[in-house]
A and B are shown apart, each in its own frame.
Chain A
Amino acid sequence: MRHWMIGLALVASCILPVAGQTPSTYKAPRSPHKDGKPDLNGIWQANNTANWNIQGQAARQGPILELGAAFSIPAGLGVVEGDEIPYQPWAAAKKKENAAKWLELDPEVKCYMPGVPRANYMPYPFQIVQTPTHILVAYEFASASRTIYMNSKEESPADTWMGWSRGRWEGDTLVVDVNSFNDQTWFDRAGNFHSEALHVVERYTPVSRDVLQYDVTIEDPKVFTRPWKMSMPLYRRAEKNAQLLEYKCVEFVEELMYGNLKKKP
C-alpha cells in the first residue's frame, strides 16, 4: 500500500494533467459491451487529502494522543476550485461547529454510507462495473454501492444516503446527475456539509489508461450562495491482483454506539 502510494505520487507529479488544462487527446479503450463507449471498468482510488478536508490545510496533531505521528492529520492542497466554499452565513457557522465536534458528528465515524462525492475520495478503493444500461459503483468502505441508471428520466422514490444517480455520455465523459440525498452525509472530516437539497453533477473523463479526471459541481441553494466545484484525478489500482476486499465497519463501531447498553458483568 505504502509503496503504491509513493509510486503514484511520483508518477502523479510528472505526468498528470491538471483540471482546466486543454482536454487530453487520449482515446480510451471501448467497452466490451460493444456500445462504443469508453471502458471505465476497473478499481479506482483517489490519492489526496480531500477526505480530511476538501480545502487546503496544514498538517496538525491528531485527536488521539497515544497515536502520535502515526495517525496525525496530513497537509493537503485541497480539491475545491479557488479553495473557497461559498457558505451562507448561518451555514459557515454550522460548518465551524461541525469541525469542533468532528468525532461526535462525522457520519464516517459511525460507518454510515458516505454519500457522493465523498465516497469517491475516501482512502479506500472502489470498483466501476459498467454495462450500457447500469453502471454499478461498489465502494470498499461500508460495502456502500450505488447504481448509475443510464439515460433514465426516472426520479427516486425516496431520499437516500448515496443519492439517485442518472448518467449519460458526453463524448468520452461520463456525466452523472445525482440528487435525492438526505441531509446526513458530509463532504469530509472537516465538517463541510450540505442539506437534502444537494445536487451533484459528476464528470468522469479517462485521460490515460490509469487515470480518470473527476470533476464535480456542487449545488445546494439552502446551504451555499452559488454552485462550486471540486476536481481531482482518480487512479487505477494497477496491481495485477487488485480486488475490493471488505471494510464492513459496522462491527468496528458497535461498542462505540451500543456499548452503554451492554449487560454489565
Chain B
Amino acid sequence: MAISRKSRNVGLTLAIAVTAAVSLNGQEKGPRTPWGDPDLQGIWSIATITPFERPSALADKAQLTEQEAAEAEKTFLKTQNQDRRDGAGTDADVALAYNDFWWDRGTKGVSSRQTSLVVDPPDGRVPALTAEGRARATARAARGYDSWQDRSLWERCITRGLPMIPGPYNNNYQILQTPDNVVILSEMIHDARIVPIDGRPHVGQSIRQWFGDSRGRWEGNTLVVDTTNFTDKVSYRGSTEGLHLIERFTRVDKDTVRYEFTIDDPATFTKKWTAAIPMARTDEQIYEYACHEGNYGMVNLLKGARAQEKAGGEK
C-alpha cells in the first residue's frame, strides 16, 4: 500500500468503454456496459473516517451538519495523527512506530454525513448478540498465542474476508464485468472474488468456503449479491457458517458506488442489520499483496510467546 500511495498512474486509469446511457424501465440513466448492464467498473476506495457504529455522544443524531462534519474531520486528523512524537521512548510513542506513511484510513467522512456506517437499525448500532453469540464472543476474546489458530485470518494471511469493511490500510477494490460475472478484486490478500450473474444455482451445501459462494443478479440499477456456504472457520463479528450475506452495489454517480451489506445470522445477532459504505473512485492501482510469503509476523509472535513462557517458567 506504500507503493499505491506514492505511485499514481493516470496512464492506467480505467478507461471504460461505455455505451450511450439507456433508460431502463424509466430508471435513472447511468453508465452502461456495451451489453447494457449498469457499469460498476473501476478502482474504488472504501477508506473513510466515519465510525462503523454511532458514537454514544451522537445517540440521537443520524446525520451531521456540514459544519459538524468538517469539525469531525479536523478532530480526527489531529487525534489520529501517527506522525506526532510525544514522550519519546514511552509505550505510547512506540505504538506510533507505524507512522502515517503506512496508514491509509482516509481523511474524510462519508459524503452522506451519516454518523455511522451502520444504517439499520436506526440507532446506528450493531444489534445485541444472542446468548450463543455472546458465548462465542467470550471464547474468542480468551484466545492467546498458543498457536496460529488463535490468531486472526488477517494475521494468518488467509483472507480479509467478507463483507468489505474499511480498514486502516488497503481499502482499494477493483470491479471488472463481463456478461456472466462481476469480479471484485481486493488488493488484500489478493482475493479475486468472482460472482456469477448468469442465474446458476449455489453450489452444494457440502462445499463451505472462506468467501462462501456468491451469486449476483441485477435489480434495476443495483447489483444484488447473495452469499451463503460460509465455512465455520470464518467469522464476521462472531457470525456462524449459517450467515446469509446480502450485498448491494449501486452506481450513484460518476465517482461513487454505494455499497450496502445486510447481515442475516439469527444464531449470532438478535436481528438483521445493514451498513452502507460509499466506494469512491480512486486513481490509484491494485498491486500484488504477498502476505503469507513473508509472514515473519506469525513466526515472531509465536516465538515471542514461547520465549515469554520460558522466562515465566524460570521465575
Contacts and interface: CB of A to CB of B under 8 A. Distances in A.
A258 interface: yes
A250 B35 CA distance: 38
A138 B305 contact: no
Q: Max chain B CB contacts within 10 Å: which of A112, A153, A161, A262? A: A262
Contact of B178 (A130, A145, A154, A184): A130
Contacts of B309: 263
B34 A32 contact: yes
Contact of A160 (B35, B157, B203, B288): B288
Contacts of B311: none
Interface stretch (B23-31, B72-80, B96-104, B190-198): B190-198
A250 B15 CA distance: 35
B169 interface: no
A133 B14 CA distance: 7
B209 A145 contact: no
Interface stretch (A15-23, A86-94, A188-196, A240-248): A240-248
Interface string B271-300: 000000000000000111010110000110
A263 B150 CA distance: 11
B222 interface: no
B158 A145 contact: no
B205 to A, nearest CB: 14
Interface string B1-30: 001001101011011110000000000000
B17 A112 contact: no
Given A113-B290, A134-B14, A32 B179 contact: yes
Contact of A154 (B3, B12, B189, B203): B12
Interface in A126-160: 127, 129-134, 136, 138, 142-147, 149, 152-154, 157-158, 160
Contact of A41 (B180, B233, B305): B180
A248 B159 contact: yes
A149 B191 CA distance: 18
Given A111-B292, A248-B210, A149 B12 contact: yes
A138 B194 contact: yes
A148 B216 CA distance: 25
B12 A161 contact: no
Given A245-B207, A246-B210, A147 B292 contact: no
Interface residues of A, number: 46
B178 A258 contact: no
Contact of A254 (B9, B146, B148, B211): B148
A34 interface: yes
Interface string B190-234: 111010100010010001011100000000000000000000010
Contacts of B203: 241, 243, 245
A263 B194 contact: no
A158 B159 contact: no
Contacts of A245: 203, 207, 209
Contacts of A129: 176, 178, 181, 183, 192, 194
A263 B309 CA distance: 9
Given A32-B179, A246-B209, A246-B211, A145 B190 contact: yes
Contacts of B181: 41, 129
A162 interface: yes
Contacts of B286: 147
B11 A34 contact: no
Interface string A228-265: 00000000000001011110101100100010011100
A251 B151 CA distance: 12
B191 A136 contact: no
Interface of B: 3, 6-7, 9, 11-12, 14-17, 33-35, 41, 145-149, 156-159, 174, 176-181, 183, 185, 189-192, 194, 196, 200, 203, 207, 209-211, 233, 286-288, 290, 292-293, 298-299, 302-303, 305-306, 309
16 contacts: A32-B179, A35-B17, A41-B178, A129-B194, A131-B177, A133-B16, A138-B192, A145-B190, A157-B3, A157-B7, A250-B156, A250-B158, A254-B148, A262-B148, A263-B305, A263-B306
Given A113-B293, A136-B176, A243-B203, 9 more contacts: A32-B35, A41-B178, A127-B194, A129-B183, A136-B185, A144-B190, A149-B12, A246-B210, A258-B298
4 closest Cβ pairs, A-B complex: A261-B302, A138-B192, A263-B146, A34-B34
